[in-house]
Structure 1
Amino acid sequence: MLKRARGTRIQWTTLILAVVAALMATIATPTSAQGSKSPGGTVTGELSRPAYSYADAIRESVWVDTGLDLDRNGRTDRVAADIVRPSEAARAGRKVPVIMDASPYYSCCGRGNESQKKTYDASGKPVQFPMHYDNYFVPRGYAAVLVDLAGTNRSDGCVDVGGRSDIISAKAVVQWLNGDATAYTSRTGGTKATADWTTGATGMIGKSYDGTVANGVAATGVKGLKTIVPIGAISSWYDYYFAKGAPYHSGGPDGLARAVESQEAAARCRVVKDELVKGAPRTGDWTKLWTERDYVPDAKNVKASVLAVHGGQDLNVRMKHLGQWWDALATAGVERKIWLSQAGHVDPFDLRREQWVDTAHRWFDHYLLGVDNGIEREPMATIEREPDRWTTDAVWPAAGTEATTLRPRSGATPGVGILGTEPATAGSTETFTDDPRLSEADWAAQVDVRTAAKAGFTTRPLAKDLRLSGSAKVTVTATPSTRTAHLSAVLVDVGPDTIRNYTGAGEGISTLSTRSCWGESRPGDSACFLDTGADTRRVNYTIFSRGWADLGNYADDHIGRPLTPGKPHTITLDLAASDHVVKAGHRLALIVAGTDRGLISAPNSQPKLTLDLARTSAELPLVGGAPALVQRSGGQAHSGPSAPLTSVPAPGLIDRLPTGSDHRTSGRRA
């Protein structure tokens, strides 16, 4: 009995001490936070938790001096940065890190699937911050900073479409947050604003133009930028408008500037737009303008980690941008991770919402709050294999990937050839005539039929799955009948499948009527967004990689010249990066043709082109290399056509805005 009573007293003493310790911890830690405090957030179980009031958050605007005077008004340009940050942290003197999205779209076009724009109250104080970054992360101990690029919304200056002004607009804000630049409390006043409330650690995120700016700022090596999350982002603006001299239908950068600039900038920035026109001739020749807007060579300067996201079927910002940026980052030794979907130009928030928010949350926690949650040690690649079915890989491109040369050769029927590892017989040829009325979908639908506008080559049905992972190249030797010619090369998975409907209005998603909430709401800024679902399509072939070129760039990737009719010319087409599995029973096809309707513009003639098959080849990133192809195809070539193929609609014009913007006119997203 005595022993039992003593044990009871010990248990009560332990319990009382535990309660006192808990109360002391609560007194020592302001707000309703639980767990240990880290700079800027409340972390419990290796995750920042909502501890601050979003409704009571501080909302303010500053104007950061860029040091430029692009609008030539005699005063340096200031860019507007709208800020929302936890008031409790400010009162406690606790500094917070920053999640930043720098965009030209906050007033012209909107952000996200619902095209949200910034809104302000009568005194000019920001009310709505588009997207969920503020709603979700501010309660967890972050500040959200949304920057109007120069020449847009409430910023001074001019839009220069990826040039110095765009990049310095955002870089200057990162520098101000880190104590290395000057900001003011108004657009024209002299009262300075300080960023003494932040740790100076900044992460940039954004889709399309916004993600492009994140790439460009990271390439400057600016201090304080700890990570970037570029989504469907451009890495070289030349490659947005041209493919080795072949023009896309996106117009020129001056058109994009007109689409996004403010009314004030439209009046004062005519000179800048004229410079964009002069610096970006529609000849497709490389100029100094493009050098300034090519971030790939400067990947060596990147100090920030990179979480890159792209749609494998993005026909707006094509996968080449991701492939060349990723490879350059790898060479520079940058810490990185990648998400690849089967959709088009779509934000992962609208593809796989719960998993994406969790990934971004843990990513920012690690790189901005310093939480050791292990995300950097997890698999590098998250890849969508089928609609809503995702897998992971330890590295990307996949381990065991080898650049493997496949060669086209003639088959039993002219125009319906064989693709394999054996070279073509010297002197063998295939001929086609450019028909700008046709698209890649038209070619693929008739890969087993002789047509005048393309040359197609296929393997035999595969015995096992064959995976391609990374970037491909196709080298073509062609003899034109005219002085100008454009070429297209596409890789096709020939066989039945269900894919995301990437040529549809939603580019692979459908917007539903229900909403889900991600973070906290307040009047004027809801955390609840329309849900989405996969928009799928049943097909008999899938085009999964593409490349284009002006044959006139045969001697120089950057400069075109007239062709000599009747003379062979050799050029290499860079195909978009991809990660695709050609399933057992399917065939892998290579199609070479002329103008790809809806994707590149036609030349000023309709040439007949004769391919020298012995001097034409494809270098493909096969997992397992050439042996994998031989094992999967049984070492034999395809010997005959399969059943007729159903057609996928041709993609529409890339420039949904008539002026060439990458924003959709439907206002859905950019």
Structure 2
Amino acid sequence: MRVRTGLCVAVLIAAGLVATPAAASAATEPQYDFAGAVRETVWVDLGRDGDGDGQPDRVAADIVRPAEPAEAGQKVPVIMDASPYYSSVGRGNETEFKTYDDEGRPVGFPLFYDNYFVPRGYATVLVDLAGTNRSTGCVDVGGKSDVTSAKTVIDWLNGRATGYSAKSGGTKVTADWTDGSVGMIGKSYDGTIANGVAATGVDGLKTIVPISAISSWYDYYRSDGATFGFDPDGLAETVEAHNGGQDCSAENGKLAEGATANGDYGPLWAERDYVAQAKNVHASVFVSHGVNDLNVRTINFGQWWDALAANGVQRKIWLSQTGHVDPFDYRRAEWVDTLHRWFDHTLMGLDNGIDKEPVATVERQPDEWADQSAYPAKDASATTLHPQAGSTPGVGTLGTAEGSGTVSFTDEAKSGEDSWAADPSAASASRVLYSTGALSSPVQVSGTSSVTVTATPSTSSARLSAMLVDYGPATIRNYAGSGEGITTGTEETCWGENAPGDDACYKETGADTTKVDYTIISRGWADLANYQSLSKESALTPGKPYSMSFRLASTDHVVPAGHRLALIVGGTDIDAITPPANLPKLTVDLARTSVRIPLAGTVPAAPRAERLPDGPLAHVAGHAPADLR
């Protein structure tokens, strides 16, 4: 690392911000000339015609690789980031795009991967998904075209596909400079493609590092039958805006048709469900996600992690308090060091001990991190808690003893999580709230929770929203702010080597924090009409009770002693999901309603009733995602 502000590496080591030599034994070191590295583009034939122009699609793979190993007959591994964003919305906190010289040769590569890793003996390959930037074809938002775009480049790197020197025509090009070992990395859509390619089991893919990534596209656009109000064809049109004029209207029409408005899980979503294909994964997986990510919601990392565990995949995970943020922008020095050692181990085969380190690293307070031997925490066990009626209608206690009676609320489609949570002692016409007493010792929620609600609707359509809330004062990252938990300064640090047009230096970031009186730690939404199946709605009969179980977001959160853990159930969370056609009154059967939480610690069976603070409480307001970046 070079620091433009003059801060020396010795100071960073003393502050514990970079690995000491002892921790970084057996590491690759910069030894190759970055300015003299080979920069080239190879167009790889996908063997399919996604845009219907009569020609097989070709995807552009822009490559930076050290010249010296190839000249000596040595072969290098590849770090790959396959993305649809290189000419549309850009990459990274500073919105970088690919750039080219007058002859079309690649010059500027977004992010620091090439600057840092090429001098250490890696090649960096940035792939334009079909239908984006300089690739032909069409994107299909996580489907076969997207996944094949990256998978076929891995095949080409291993001699199983054909590459060319031009977008059309040209001469054949072979990858005789690589040993075929590939590690995929990327945030959001890019990391999602890494998940999808890993789920094919392609030979040569040794590891993936999905950052804030989707594991099932259904869970990006839908939630247990409920819809978030946006669809994949809109994203396709955004990323195809600079694709050279290819006509992708037919493919986009298929996306619009397949993403049915009723929220059912159908064939389009099944094709894009990598969790269902996790049995094929052979690559190791290093996951990073913000537990407050309201763009790629955290159920995506939780279900992926669990499916990989069932398959015995080697895994590692970082969980931050941020929203949709790359760890390079909230824990930079430690991330670069850890990523370096991860790739050295998985792609170079170096025995640096990273496989023996704690599996999970979790941010407990802003910039305060704790290691865990496992995720979910090894002491966490599924604990069922029940709502119990109190003296205030719709407000009661939460404990291990079963409740009784009924309570009603009305879906007004005007309220959301913050208005529901802000005054926990007050009755509300649009939600019910049940809380433990002040905890005598901390409890840890670690893993994926689920809620079962038995409700009688007054109309033929109904939505359900549920959330777990930690009531008590805290300082957290301001994940609903413009930086989703970070601020960006003006001073820069440099991570790797510079070359003309390819800068390794990035603005420093810090934690954006806020003080709150409660923290929403997990959320979930559902369409009650999907109580029998996510694949097909069932007609609801007004006045008849229905039971539905649905998932809450995966997390790892410690509720401190003295705080309270609460369950809130409402109808339409207007800040998240679309409302039903006919807004119902919902009557909840407390005896048949419960929440199942992976919990380390003890919650009383029947906590004594304690009055919660009067009046609205402070919280960081939630927000809807703008786009998948």
**Normalised-by-shorter TM-score class:** over 0.9
Task: Give 1:629's aligned residue.
Answer: 603
1:418 match: secondary structure: strand
Amino acid in structure 2 at the alignment position of 1:512? G
Task: Give 2:293's aligned residue.
Answer: 314
- Aligned pair partner of 2:81 in 86, 90, 101: 101
- Aligned pair partner of 2:144 in 164, 169, 183: 164
- Aligned pair partner of 1:460 in 413, 437, 442: 437
8 Å CA contact retained: 1:541, 1:645: no
Task: Give 1:115's aligned residue.
Answer: 95
8 Å CA contact retained: 1:158, 1:265: no
Alignment of 1:279 with 2:282, yes or no, is no
In the superposition, relative to structure 1, how do residues 323 and 265 fare at CA in structure 2: closer, same or farther (>3 Å)? farther
Task: Give 1:353's aligned residue.
Answer: 332
In structure 1, distance between residues paired with 2:225 and 2:182: 37
In structure 2, distance between residues paired with 1:84 and 1:453: 57
Shift of 1:594: 1.0
TM-score calculated relative to the size of structure 2? 0.95
In structure 2, distance between residues paired with 1:102 and 1:558: 31
In structure 1, distance between residues paired with 2:535 and 2:517: 37
Q: Which runs of 5+ in 2 are unaligned?
A: 1-22
Shift of 1:263: 4.3
Shift of 1:449: 1.0
Task: Give 1:445's aligned residue.
Answer: 422
Task: Give 1:650's aligned residue.
Answer: 621
1:214 match: secondary structure: helix
- Aligned pair partner of 1:619 in 596, 614, 623: 596
Task: Give 1:529's aligned residue.
Answer: 506
Greater shift after overlay, 541-550 or 615-624? 615-624
In structure 2, distance between residues paired with 1:638 and 1:234: 41
1:240 match: secondary structure: helix
Shift of 1:44: 8.9
- Count of residue pairs brought into register by the alignment: 607
In structure 1, distance between residues paired with 2:63 and 2:166: 13
- Aligned pair partner of 2:111 in 119, 128, 131: 131
In structure 1, distance between residues paired with 2:623 and 2:559: 26
Amino acid in structure 2 at the alignment position of 1:525? D
RMSD over aligned CA atoms reads 1.3
Alignment of 1:208-227 (within 5 A): 208-227=188-207
Alignment of 1:68 with 2:42, yes or no, is no
8 Å CA contact retained: 1:488, 1:596: yes
Greater shift after overlay, 263-272 or 206-215? 263-272
Shift of 1:266: 5.6
Task: Give 2:341's aligned residue.
Answer: 362
Greater shift after overlay, 435-444 or 201-210? 435-444
Shift of 1:264: 4.6
Shift of 1:265: 6.5
In structure 2, distance between residues paired with 1:241 and 1:636: 38
Task: Give 1:258's aligned residue.
Answer: 237
Alignment of 1:257-406 (within 5 A): 257-264=236-243, 267-406=246-385
Shift of 1:597: 2.1
Amino acid in structure 2 at the alignment position of 1:108? S
Asked which structure has the greater CA Rg, the reply is 1
Alignment of 1:83 with 2:54, yes or no, is no
Alignment of 1:596 with 2:573, yes or no, is yes
Amino acid in structure 2 at the alignment position of 1:393? Q
In structure 1, distance between residues paired with 2:244 and 2:35: 34
Q: Which runs of 5+ in 1 are unaligned?
A: 1-42, 663-669
2:295 match: secondary structure: coil
The one-character-per-residue Cα deviations of 1:265-311 (angstroms, maximum 9, x if unpaired) are: 66411111111111111111222111100011111110100000100
Shift of 1:643: 4.5
- Aligned pair partner of 1:412 in 391, 402, 413: 391
Task: Give 1:639's aligned residue.
Answer: 610
Amino acid in structure 2 at the alignment position of 1:650? A
In structure 1, distance between residues paired with 2:611 and 2:450: 26
In structure 2, distance between residues paired with 1:190 and 1:121: 19
Task: Give 2:410's aligned residue.
Answer: 433
8 Å CA contact retained: 2:82, 2:150: yes
Shift of 1:537: 0.6
In the superposition, relative to structure 1, how do residues 638 and 89 fare at CA in structure 2: closer, same or farther (>3 Å)? farther
Alignment of 1:206 with 2:177, yes or no, is no
In structure 1, distance between residues paired with 2:609 and 2:475: 23
8 Å CA contact retained: 2:184, 2:209: yes
In structure 1, distance between residues paired with 2:435 and 2:322: 25
Shift of 1:586: 0.3
- Aligned pair partner of 1:92 in 59, 64, 72: 72
The one-character-per-residue Cα deviations of 1:228-270 (angstroms, maximum 9, x if unpaired) are: 0000000111111111111013x11111100101445664111
Shift of 1:437: 1.9
1:47 match: secondary structure: coil
Alignment of 1:585 with 2:565, yes or no, is no
Greater shift after overlay, 113-122 or 68-77? 68-77
Greater shift after overlay, 509-518 or 645-654? 645-654
Task: Give 1:542's aligned residue.
Answer: 519
1:601 match: secondary structure: coil
In structure 2, distance between residues paired with 1:647 and 1:602: 26
Shift of 1:439: 1.2
Task: Give 1:553's aligned residue.
Answer: 530
In terms of fraction of residues, the more helix-rich structure is 1
8 Å CA contact retained: 2:133, 2:244: no
Shift of 1:338: 0.3
Shift of 1:345: 0.3
8 Å CA contact retained: 1:151, 1:262: no
In the superposition, relative to structure 1, how do residues 412 and 620 fare at CA in structure 2: closer, same or farther (>3 Å)? same
TM-score calculated relative to the size of structure 1? 0.89
The one-character-per-residue Cα deviations of 1:101-133 (angstroms, maximum 9, x if unpaired) are: 000000001000001000000000111100000
1:168 match: secondary structure: helix
In structure 1, distance between residues paired with 2:288 and 2:87: 25
Alignment of 1:487 with 2:464, yes or no, is yes
2:141 match: secondary structure: coil
In the superposition, relative to structure 1, how do residues 335 and 583 fare at CA in structure 2: closer, same or farther (>3 Å)? same
2:191 match: secondary structure: helix
In structure 1, distance between residues paired with 2:57 and 2:79: 23
Task: Give 1:421's aligned residue.
Answer: 400
Amino acid in structure 2 at the alignment position of 1:210? D
Shift of 1:98: 0.3
Alignment of 1:498 with 2:475, yes or no, is yes
8 Å CA contact retained: 2:137, 2:246: no
8 Å CA contact retained: 2:87, 2:242: no
8 Å CA contact retained: 1:458, 1:638: no
2:554 match: secondary structure: strand
